[in-house]
Structure 1
Amino acid sequence: MRISTDSFSMFLSLTSVIVILIISEAEATDRITTTQFLRENETIVSSGGSFELGFFRPGSSQNLYLGIWYKKITARTVVWVANREAPLTNQSVILKISSPGILNLYNETGFIIWSSNTSTRVEDPIAQLLDSGNLVVREANDDNPENFLWQSFDYPGNTFLPGMKLGKNLITDLDRYLSSWKSNDDPAPGDYTYRMDTRGYPQFVLRNGAIEKFRPGPWNGLTFSGSSLKPNMIFNYSFVFSKEEVYYTYELTNSSVISRRVLNQSVGVMQRWTWADHRGWILYSEIPMDNCDIYASCGEYGSCNIGNTPQCGCLDKFVPRHQNNWDSGDWSSGCIRRVPLACRGGEGFMKYSGLKLPDTRNSWFNTSMTLEECRKMCLGNCSCMAYARLDIRKGASGCLMWLGSLVDIRETEDGQDIYVKMASSELGSQGKRREAIIVSLTLVIGVSLLCLSLTLYFWKKKHRQLERTGIMSHGSSHTETSKSHKEDLQLPSFDLATIVDATDNFSLHNKLGEGGFGPVYKGVLEGGQEIAVKRLSSSSRQGLDEFKNEVIYIAKLQHRNLVKLLGCCIQGEEKMLIYEYLSNKSLDLFIFDETLSKLLDWPKRFHIIDGISRGLLYLHQDSRLRIIHRDLKASNILLDIDMTPKISDFGMARSFGANETEANTNRVVGTYGYMSPEYAVDGIFSVKSDVFSFGVLVLEIVSGKRNRGFSHSNHFHNLLGHAWKLYQEGRALEVVDAAVVNSIYVSEMLRSIQVALLCVQQSPEDRPSMSSVVLMLGNDGALPQPKEPGFFTERTVVEFEYSTSRDTPSSVNEITITVLEAR
C-alpha cells in the first residue's frame, strides 16, 4: 500500500472525516516507508506472521493506542504499546516515518503525540516489524539487518519477550526495564517496576513505587542466588556484564513455543506464561513466590525460612534487636550481633551456607580476586561486614564484599556460602585453630588428622545405623540416585528414651489415631515443644518402604503448607518419625462433622483450599524434586492453630525427573474416592493424578460431604456426579454446605466449584496444572468450561449400599488412614 504526501496533507485538513481502510492479507506488509501511512483498522504483520502492529482499544476503554500483539493467538495479547501515556480519542490517526528516520504518531489535528527518539539522520528510512515482535527503524539500503536507528525492544512496557535485553547500557545510560500497566483498561505506566539496580554489584529489584518488594539476588555465574531459575526445556537464559552494558536475556529453545514474562499490575508479581492452543495462557512460574521472597521481611541479619514457624530467625551469633517486637511477630527491626565489632584486629569470619545473598546496593566487587584475597581485604576494612564468591562456577572465583548491614536473606535449597565478620570471642575454636596455623604447621596437621579421624568414626557409625534400617538401599524405582538419598537423610536423630518420656511411654491418652503406617502419639519434649510421633507398627499395612519415602521426600521440603518433619528415631526394631504437632488435627474431623463443620465459615474454607493448592504447586513445580503425593485426601491435610492447612503423609509419594511426565505402577495404592481414573484403572500416575484428588477435596470442603458414600434422594451419583449435574443445570450453588452459604461470597464459592470440576475431568490432558489452579483461584478472570468428570456413572442400588457401608466415618482414627487395595 502506498499513499502520496498529498493524501497525507488532505487527511490532516479534513479532521472531521473518519478514514477506515482495511488492508487485505495480500497487501499486508512488515514495513512502512516515508510514502506509507498506518491508520486504524490497518495492520503491519511481521515477516514470519508471528506479530501484528496496529491500533487497539484495551479492555473496555474507548481510547486508542498503537501497539504490537500476537498474530496467531485469538485472544488479543498486547506485548508493547507506543503511546502509553498519550491515548488517542479519535479514529483519525496516522503513523508515519519521516525522512530523517523518525517514527511519528499524529492525532486528528495533525499534532505529534508520540515519536521515536531517533537521532541519526538517513535518507531512506523504513520502519519494520520483525518476527521477534521488535519494531525497528533502519536504513532501507543498509546491508546489516541489525544496524537499527531505533527499536521498541529498547523501550519495553510490561512484557519481556525472547531476545529482549533487560538491564542498562553503561555507556549511553539507556535503561531497559519493565513497568506494569495501570489497569487492564489503561496501559500507562503503573506502580510496579522491575529494573536493574547498578549501585554496587548489579541486581534486579521489583518495586511498588519507591518501595522494594522483591529481589532475586545477585548473579553468581549460574543463576540469581535467590531464585528458582534453572536450566529447563522451554528457554535458555544468559546474564551479560561488561564495561559497556549489563543485562539479562533469554531465548526460546523451540520456535513453536509461545512464552512471555509479564509484570502483572493487579498483584505486582513477575509471571511467565506459555500458550497452549486448547487451553490458552498457562502460568508457568511467578516471583515473588512466597512470604520469604518479600524484601527484607526479617530485617537486618535476619534470615527467612518458609518452612519454619515463625519463618524469621536471626543468623547464628545474632539476637533480635527488639525482642518484644520479635516475639509479637514484627521482625522488621531485624537482628544485631551478640558481641559487637570493635575493629581493633582479631576479628574473623563465620561461614553461613545455603543462603540467598543479601542486598548488594552497598557492595564492592572484583572479578579476578581469589576468595582468600577477598577475605584479607574484608578483614582490613572496618566497613566490610561480609564477603562471598562472586562466581560459583567451577574454576571461577571473584570477590563480592558488603560494606554495610546485611539485608534480605533467606534460606534456599540452592543457596550460597557467605562469610560474615564476627568478633574473635564468637569464633571459639575456629579462631584458636587459625592462630595455631600461624604459630605451628605441625599442630595444624595434628588437629586436621584428629578431625578427620572423628569424622570418619561418626560417618561409619551413622552409615552402619542407616544400613541396619535399610534406608540407604532405597531401590531404583525412584528417580533420584542413592547418593542424593544419602544427602537427603541429614535429619536430627531423637533418642528412644526421649520419645518414650515425651509420650508418657506411648500411653493411650496420648494416642491421636492410627493409620496404615501405625499409631500416632502426641508428645511434649523437655523444653515444652509439642510433637507428633508416627510409630511404625510391626503389623503395618505400609512398612519400611513407606518409612523410607517419608524420610526421603519430606526431610528437606520447606513450605508453610507442608507438615514439618523434625527428625526420626531409629533404635533396634523401633522406627519413628517426629513431626510438628498441629493442634487442630486433620481436616476430615471438621468438614465431615455436623458440629465442627459449623466452625469453618467460608473464608476459612477458602483459606484451606488456597493453602492446599499452594502446597501442591510447591511439590509439583517449585521443590527440588517434582513430587507426586498420590494419597491426597481430607485426612492427610492437617490444620495448625490458625487453620492453616499442611499436607502430610508422604509414604506413597513418588518423584519425577525433569523430563518425566508420567509413570506406571503395578501396585495401585491410595484411597478410592480420591484416585484419578487413569491411576485406579491402569496404574498410570502423574501430577494430574494429584490435581484430580485436589478437585475431589475442594468439592468435599465446599459441600461438607464425602465423595465416596455420598447419597442423594434423586440419583445414585457420587459427589462429583452430583456437582456436575447441578453445574450443568445452573444450580451449582446447591452443592455448598448449608452452614456456610452467604451471598457475600457467592462468586468465590461458584468459582471454587468450577475450578474443582476442571480438576476432576476424565482426561488428564484436560485438567489444569496446579500453577493454573492457583492463578484461577486468585483472580476474577473468565474460566474455561469443564468437561464431564471422571467416574461419572450412576451406581446401582446394590453398588451404592456397598460403597456407603465401606466409607461410613468411624472415629478420629481416620486421621492418618491410607487404604491399600489391590487392582
Structure 2
Amino acid sequence: MALCFFSRILCFLLHSAPFLSLTVGAVYDHILFPNQTLVIGQTLVSQNHVFEMGFFSPGKSSNRFLGIWYKSTPDVVAWVANRNHPITAHQAASFMISGNRSLVISSAKSIIWSVNSSRTSTNINPVLQLLDSGNLVLVDNMVEEGYLWQSFDYPTDTCLQGMQFTDGADSGVEKYLRSWRNADDPSPGDYILRIENKGLPDLVTLRGTTKRYRLGKWNGLFFGGGPRFPNAMYNVLVVFKQDRMISAKELDDSPAVTRITLDPSGTMTRHTLNAQRHKWNRAFTVPQDTCDEYGICGPNGICKSRTNSPIRCQCFKGFAPKFQSYWDLQDWSGGCTRIKPLNCYGGDGFVKVGGVKYPDMLSFWLNRNMSLSECKAECLKNCSCTAYANPFITNGGSGCLMWFNELIDTKELSAADSKQNIYIRMPVSELDLSTGLEDEKENKRPMKLILISMASGVFISAFINGGILFMARLKRQVKSKNEDLELTVIKMETIVQATNNFSTENMIGVGGFGPVYKGNMPSGEEIAVKRLSRSSHQGLEEFRNEVMVIAKLQHKNLVKLLGCCIEEDERMLIYEYLENKSLDLLVFDDGRKTVLTWPMRYDIIMGIARGLLYLHHDSRLKIIHRDLKTSNILLDRHLTPKISDFGLARIFEEDQALARTKRVIGTFGYMAPEYAIDGKYSVKSDIFGLGVVLLEIISGKKNRGYEDTNHNVNLLGHAWLLWKENKCLELMDGCLRKTFRECEVKRCIQVGLLCVQKYADDRPIMSLVVSMLGSNAAVLPEPKEPGFFIQRSSSPPGSSTSPSFKSENTITITDLEAR
C-alpha cells in the first residue's frame, strides 16, 4: 500500500514542474502538494470520484466557503472549513499547504482561515489528500500510520461513514455535530448532537444547554429509543472506557452509502444513497414524531406514538393529569401526579410498564451487576425510589437502575422492544390495576384545600399580628370567590426537617416577604421555602395575595407553588427549587454572564414573554404582575425562565382595562411612568417592565444606575438613541459577539423599545409582543421616545445636581415604596 502511494507521488513529480500554475476551472487529482494553490474555480477530486473539494456558495448566498461535497450530488455538502470566516463575493482567495505545515485560506496578504498539524512531521513536504471516505488528510509519507491532520477530527453538520462521535472527558477532544445556521449560511447554528455520558450513554440534541431530543439510554446493544444495530444496512462500532462510551462510529464497510446530518431545525437524519438515481433517501430521523420532543408529556407521563389518536400522552396507572383543563387542550407539559401517596413502610409494590424508552436519568442510582429481584428489594428500602428496571437487555436483562423523584421523557416503543420494561412504585391499593397506564381523562382527584381552611389559618396569623381589619377584608374576598384552592398543606415538622431547622447554610435569599430556604423533602424532591418574616409589614398581604393568585396559575414559564404551611404564627409558601436561581445573578455578573450565549438569552426572552402572555390573556384569571424584573425571573437546570414573586399581583376582571392605587409599590427602574407617577396600572405596566428586562438581557447592564459617557442618559435612553443612529448593535453585551444572530438581536431591541414607550397606549399588547419576537417576517413600527428618558447633568462627579425627568406629567404620589 505504501509502495503504491510512493509510486503515485514519484510519477506525479516526474511529469510536473516544481511550481504548478493551474488555470481557473482546472481540476486536481486527489493530492495537493506543497506550493500548489487551489483557487476559486478549481477543485480536488478523490481517487474514485466519490468526493470533491473546492470553493462553493451555499444556497442563495454570494459568500464562498471551502468545502467537501459528493461529486454525484454536488448540493450535498459534507464538510466546511471556514464556516466562521466567509469569503465575500468580491474577494479573491486561495487554499494551500503553507511552509510550516499549516493549511491556509488566504486573500491578498491576509489569512482568512488556517489550521496547524497536531503532530510533528519528519518530512519537509507533507501532502494533502482527499480520500474516497470524504476525509481530507495531511499525510507524511515517511509515516505509515496516522495523519498529521484530518477533517474527520473537526466535523461540521455531517457525520460520514468512518467518522466518529467522541466524548472528550478524558482526551479533551470532543467530536460532535453542529447544525448550520440556515440553508444559506454554514456558520455554527443553534443545535448540537453529541454523546452524553450520565450514568448510561445517550445521544442527545441540545439547543444551548436545553435538551431537545434524546435517542435513549444505551441498553447494552443499542440506544434504547433508536434503531437496532448491527443490521444488514447499519453497523456501528462503539468503544467504552471504564463504562463510559468514548466513541461511536458507523463502519465504512457497510453495503450502503450513508451519512448522518443535523439540520438547522435540530432534526437528526440518517440518509442512504441510491447511487443509480443519484438520490438520497431518509432512512431514520429524530424526531420521528411528537413523542420525541423532550419531556412532551411532563413528569410521570408516557407518550404513545403508535396510537392514531391526536392525544399522544397518558398518565401511568395510579397517576392523573395534574392540570386537567390544560390536558384537555393537549398541553401535557404539567404532567401527572399521584392519586394516592406512597406508603414507604411496607405498603408499596410495583406496576410493570412494558416496551418503553426509559425515562431520562435525572436523579438515579445504577448498579451493573444486580438481578431484577435484588433491584426491586433495593428500591423498596429507599423511600425516594419511584421506579426500577434492568438497564441492560443483554442475557435476558441485567443490572439495576433506580429512579428517584419524577419520571421525565418516557416513550412507548414497538412490540419488538418489549425487553425494556420499567417497574413503577405504587401504593398497595393501586396494584390491582392490570396495566401500567392511566387514561388521561380518568381518576381526576387532585388534592384540594378549601378556602375556608385557608381563611381560618390566615385569620390566626392576622390576629397574632393585629390584622383584624385585614382579615375582614380577606373574608369578603373569599366569600366572593366561592372557589376551592388546589393546594397541598405541608406540616411544619416536615419543613423543619427539610431545611435543617432553617439553618443559615440553607438560606438562599431574602425578599420583602422574608427569608427563602432550600430544603430537601423525604421523597428527595428539592424545594424552596419562603418564610413570612414576623417583622414584615408587607409579608402578610403578600402571603394572602400569592396564595390567592399563583395557586390558580400553572404554566411552564411560571414558578410552581407546591404547597403552604400554616401553623401557629408561621406562614410559609413552598415552591419548586430552581437550580440556577435568578436571572440577574447571571446576566449582570461579568464572571458568569459568558455562559449565556445569544441562543440561550433568546430562549429566555421568549419564555418570559410566553409566561406574561399566559398571565394577561390565556389563564383563567387576568393577572397584572406589577413587579416584573430581572431578579424575579428564576432559571431551572435547563435555564428555562420562570416568572416568580406574585406578592404584588392583581386580578383583573375580563373586561377591566385599568386600575389605580394610592399605594405604589414596586422596583425603581422597572415601573411604568403612569404607575410610578399617577398610580395607574394595567397590562401595559407589565409590558413596560418586560421591555426593561429585554434590554437588560441584551446589554448585560442594569437600567437603574446605568451611566453612559457618550449619550449621558440612562439605559432606556441610550438604547433609543443608538436605535435612532442605526447603531443598536452597540447596545449588545460584548460577550455575545461570537454567538449572536444579528436579525434576532435587532428585533429584540426594537421590541424592547416598543414596550418601554412613554405612553401606555403606544405599547403593544402581549400577544403582539410574542408574535413580533418570534417572527422574522413581521414589519415592526418605529419606537417612540421611552418613558423616563433621563438626560443627566454634565456636572462633575460629586456635584449635587439631580437627574431631570423629561416628562409632561408633574403630579407625584408621596406614598411610594420601592422593593
TM-score band (shorter)?
A: 0.3 to 0.5
TM-score w.r.t. length of structure 1: 0.46
TM-score w.r.t. length of structure 2: 0.46
